[in-house]
Amino acid sequence: MSETSATYDPLDLARRLMACPSITPATGAVFDTLEAMLAPLGFAVERFVEGDAPDGPVENLLAVRANGPGPHFAFAGHLDVVPPGSGWASDPFVPHVRGDLLHGRGAVDMKGSIACFVAAVARQSALPGTISLLITGDEEGPAVHGTVALMARMAERGVVPDLCLVGEPTSVNRLGDMVKIGRRGSVNMWITVAGSQGHVAYPHLADNPIPRLIRILAAIEAITLDAGTDWFQPSNIEITDITVGNPATNVIPAQASARLSIRFNDRHSGTSLVARIRAIVEREDGATLDAKISGEPFLTPPGAFSTLISDAIDAATGIRPELSTTGGTSDARFLSRLCPVVEFGLCNATMHKLDEAVALADLAVLTTIYADILDRVLHASSTEEAAGPKRAI
């Protein structure tokens, strides 16, 4: 181990990042801390702030280290965290080791993974090729001014990775048991049905919107979008809210509304689903639909990249990970437009919970895995390039 890598202990790096409160949207001290880690490793660090309240300001960091010819490997993640809530055993922003666990907000989601990747880069300082870190302060929020803004800045700078690893906490029961190769898309919809208020004793002088809303929701509830695919579970439509807001027992309300959330696989697009639901809604007089597409589905088909990551996990843990597309959305939904993307990180059992914690052993093993992935991508690819045609990953 070199003197440089010896100073980049993943536990120490994780504690330094976690000690910076960075509730989404994040700016400032936590980015100062990460930049101070990266600069001695030869990274050119660019930071910029985007957006205004309420969705901003958001800070983003693009760090690039080019070391001669070879592939470009990117690591993506976020420094923002969800609010800690009350009831922690200790201050959520004062990292605390109890037994074999490091407690604090961001331990697994995902300052711990970022710390492991930085420590892994320190171990692999002589590797050829290009390494970049794409770090946002807006993954846990609306994601309006985060990774999308980073991608725009990358396009301006001509920064184009060949492969991208997102360090989200994908492991379930033990480190290395699951890798994400895709995610379902997400769209939220708001249905409003306008009526005319009146006395319940004189219904002919009013227009009750509730029966029309019920008919709309019944038609939507009867939809089966699909039965799933080889890599995705079935798409699902969930009614998440119904609101009338009528405190009176003798008044026909003037309006009724409902909200839907749809998680969908790659047999659909957000636009097609909005059009399908809109057609049902607008069959009823006075009914309108608003929608927001949070992300489209993506799939990185199993192949050389996911195999390479699985091999590195297997070498360090003896586990062959399950390739999965389950769970919520992540910023990989944006990054998949650039290059093949796979997600792999720490155990997710305590993310977003009180007393979030990471096993000290997992920090050490994840660093080893990330260092092995870097070696397999950069050193092996560069060696093959010198010997002949570059392999396709």
CB 241 within 8 A of CB 190: no
Smallest Cα–Cα separation from 201: which of 251, 248, 255, 246?
251
Q: How many CB atoms lie within 10 A of CB 269?
A: 15
CA 379/CA 192 separation, integer angstroms: 57
Q: What does the H/E/C string look like for 311-376?
A: HHHHHHHCCCCEEECCCCCCCHHHHCCCCCEEECCCECCCCCCCCCEEEHHHHHHHHHHHHHHHHH
pTM for the whole structure: 0.90
Which stretch of DSSP H or E encloses residue 121? Answer: helix 111-123
CA 327/CA 295 separation, integer angstroms: 13
Res 117: pLDDT: 98
CATH topology of domain 185-295: Alpha-Beta Plaits (3.30.70)
Q: What does each C-alpha distance from 316 to 55, 123, 245 come to in angstroms?
A: 40, 16, 56
* Amino acid residing at 162: D
Smallest Cα–Cα separation from 13: which of 131, 168, 133, 118?
118
pLDDT tens column, 296-330: 999 999 999 999 999 999 999 999 999 999 988 89
Res 349: pLDDT: 97
Res 123: pLDDT: 96
Helix (H, G, I), strand (E, B), or coil: what is residue 164?
A: strand
CA 183/CA 364 separation, integer angstroms: 28
Please report, in range form, the residues annotated as the binding site: 78, 109, 140, 168, 352
pLDDT tens column, 107-164: 999 999 999 999 999 999 889 999 999 999 999 999 999 999 999 999 999 999 999 9
In the 8-state DSSP scheme, what is residue 203? G
Which CATH code, of 3.40.50.720, 3.40.50.300, 3.40.630.10, 2.60.40.10, is assigned to 3-183+298-387? Answer: 3.40.630.10
Catalytic residues: 80, 139
Going residue by residue through the chain (393 aa), what tens digit of pLDDT does each one get? 555 666 899 999 999 999 999 999 999 999 999 999 999 999 999 999 999 999 999 999 999 999 999 999 999 999 999 999 999 999 999 999 999 999 999 999 999 999 999 999 999 988 999 999 999 999 999 999 999 999 999 999 999 999 999 999 999 999 999 999 999 999 999 999 999 999 999 999 999 999 999 999 999 999 999 999 999 999 999 999 999 999 999 999 999 999 999 999 999 999 999 999 999 999 999 999 999 999 999 999 999 999 999 999 999 999 999 999 998 889 999 999 999 999 999 999 999 999 999 999 999 999 999 999 999 999 866 555 433 333 334
In sequence order, what are the beta bridge partners of 341?
164
CA 70/CA 381 separation, integer angstroms: 7
Q: What would the two tokens of residue 25 be?
A: 């949207």
Q: Taking the domains of the chain in order of start, what are their residue ranges?
A: 3-183+298-387, 185-295
Q: What is the mean pLDDT of the chain?
A: 95
Q: What does each C-alpha distance from 101 to 2, 114, 187, 214, 246 come to in angstroms?
A: 27, 17, 37, 50, 50
Res 386: pLDDT: 39
Smallest Cα–Cα separation from 175: which of 318, 326, 355?
318
Please report, in range form, the residues annotated as the binding site for Zn(2+): 78, 109, 140, 168, 352
Q: What's the number of CA atoms in the CB half-sphere (13 Å) around residue 144? A: 11
